[in-house]
Structure 1
Amino acid sequence: MSDAFVIEVADETAGIVVRLGNEKSFRFHASLPRYFPLDGKAFATPRDAERAALAQIGRPGRQKARAA
């Protein structure tokens, strides 16, 4: 059996956290690029994942080099 929760931040879906089988932690799966740094990370609770997603707001994303 698995447990899954949607993580929403500032009216957008940051991703979901899923706990599979006997795992004790929840694995984050990002749905938007600004939350990609959290993708695949484990959290003790869905609330911990939500706090981490909230912390991502306002952090500058990695910029790709653009050709002129």
Structure 2
Amino acid sequence: MSQAQHQAQSNAYIIEIHDRAAGIVTRDARGFRFFSSERLFDSLEGRQFSSAREAERAARAVFSERSRRASSQLFAN
């Protein structure tokens, strides 16, 4: 990657899941660190990811698991 390409990449990304701000990831020497902006995603707080896309997939998995649990509780009652 050239210096110009490296500089063109962002150092922070907002992760949104279904119109909810899950958090942000910031670039550091090891990759991307997640900072939660909503309680639902606190389990990802401080986790290191190799890419912003990987962090987004993790946030989607948290959201999907929470939705699945909520649905199963509705049907259990």
Relative to its length, the structure with more strand (as a share) is 1
- Tell me the distance in 2 between the aligned counterparts of 1:41 and 1:50: 12
* Identity across matched positions, percent: 43
Give the SS at the match of 1:40: coil
Partners of 1:10 and 1:50 lie apart in 2 by 12
* Unpaired runs of at least 5, structure 1: 61-68
**Superposed displacement of residue 24, structure 1:** 3.0
Instruction: State the aligned residue count.
Output: 58
- Report the aligned-residue RMSD: 1.8
In structure 2, stretches of 5+ residues that fail to align are 1-6, 70-77
Name 2:38's counterpart in structure 1: 32
Structure of larger gyration radius: 2
Structure number with the higher helix fraction is 2
- The aligned residue for residue 48 of structure 2 is 42
User: Deviating runs (4+, > 4 A) in structure 1?
Assistant: none
TM-score norm. by structure 1 comes to: 0.77
Classify the secondary structure of the residue corresponding to 1:27: strand
